[in-house]
Amino acid sequence: MSATLTESYTWFAACSTTDVPENGGVCVKYKNDQIALFNFTRRGEWYATQNMCPHRMQMAISRGMIGSIEGEPKVACPFHKKNFSLVDGRCLSDDSCGDLKTYPVKVEGGRVFIGIPGAEEDTWA
């Protein structure tokens, strides 16, 4: 992740790198929230977004297929294939349905950490 972090984040240890399929996603439980985490092996990048698809409120983004459109990494919801940017979560489909929240991701020593804005517990780094 190359995003410059100006806000303060709490880094939450989600899983180990090998838990996430190559070029695919998993769902991470954070307190009562669900976060979709993607291992974009082809690009050597990691991304995280909210797991809920804003189109029909389905907990499904982590099961979506990732790819790119004109160089921008994106994910398609498995239900109705709405596309979202992995970089900023914006809906890329013609008939927009709302955007995804995104989270920064760091990989350290084989562990994957997700940055939760402003959270206080479970602090790392």
Contact of residue 92 among another protein, ligand FES, none (CB under 5-8 Å per partner type): none
Distance CA 119, CA 38 (A): 21
| Closest by CA position to 48, among listed 109, 123, 100 | 100
Q: Which 13-42 positions form the footprint of another protein (CB under 8 A)?
A: 14-15, 19-24, 26-29, 34, 37, 40, 42
Contact of residue 116 among another protein, ligand FES, none (CB under 5-8 Å per partner type): none
| # of chain residues touching another protein (CB under 8 A) | 44
Distance CA 72, CA 26 (A): 20
Q: How near is the Cβ of 38 to ligand FES at its closest, in Å?
A: 16
Nearer to ligand FES by C-beta: 85 or 113?
85
53 binding ligand FES? (CB under 6 A): yes
Binding mask 78-97 for another protein (x = CB under 8 A): xx-x-x-------x---xxx
User: What are the φ/ψ torsions at residue 61 (nearest 5 degrees)?
Assistant: -60, -35
| Closest by CA position to 50, among listed 39, 41, 66, 37 | 37
Q: Residue 68: how many CB atoms within 10 A of its CB?
A: 12
Q: How near is the Cβ of 119 to another protein at its closest, in Å?
A: 16
